[in-house]
Amino acid sequence: MERKIFDVTMSIREKMISWPGDGPVHVQRIKSMIDGDRLNLSRLDMSAHTGTHIDAPVHFLEAGTGIDTVSLDLLMGPAVLVHLPGVKEIGAYQLKNAGIPAGTERLLLKTDNSALLDKGTFDEKFTFLTLDGARYLVDKHVRLVGIDYLSVAQYGMGDGVHQELLREEIVIIEGLDLREVVPGIYQMTALPLKIAGCDGAPARVILTT
């Protein structure tokens, strides 16, 4: 079977959706060959949690570690993608009935959020993982969870879910673009920028069959 490669990373660009309060994303050309410079050079101004990104423990844990300490072993390997259409709150019940194979360590959640990615504005009513759902993943020894919007947790009420996962050193990937990917098992590579001590970083995430 021919190998297929899916880039499930949001493109970083001007006017893309961003978390309220994080500020807009700016990609500014500060040198331009069209203007007579000998090269093109751009400057980026954005939150560490822009687009497809990975949260570090220190994002919600005062004594947590930075993004540069996240285990590469967790960021590379088999990942199970499940589709949860019509689900608003992903709790233990929804996860139990999602067909997740026993022993799954890396879990990617494709939801109705995928339809929100092309909106020009942030949507507060995205699908999210509940605290009950987070505890279920801890109990099942999941080591990484990813979702297709800018947060894994409910807007304005995300502390508990993040803390539950990050306390157990469960990697959180947010802002995945899963629109072109069907449920199944993939080989995943998810590499955040290595920013010393930072609470998160944009990442390039690739799935292969």
- How many of the other CB atoms lie within 10 Å of CB of 186? 23
C-alpha to C-alpha distance for 177 and 2, rounded to whole angstroms: 22
User: Are 27 and 15 in contact, with CB atoms under 8 Å apart?
Assistant: no
Which residues, 6+ apart, have CB-to-CB distance to 81 below 8 Å? Answer: 108, 110, 178, 181, 182, 183, 184, 185, 186, 207
Determine which one of 59, 83, 141, 162 is catalytic.
Answer: 59
CA distance from start to end of the chain: 9
Which residue is listed with tokens 């009950």?
A: 132
83 is catalytic: no
Q: How far is CA 184 from CA 110, 159, 181, in A?
A: 11, 30, 9
8, 53 contact by CB (below 8 A): no
Residue bearing tokens 């005062």:
62
CA distance 113 to 90: 12
Q: Which residues are catalytic?
A: 59
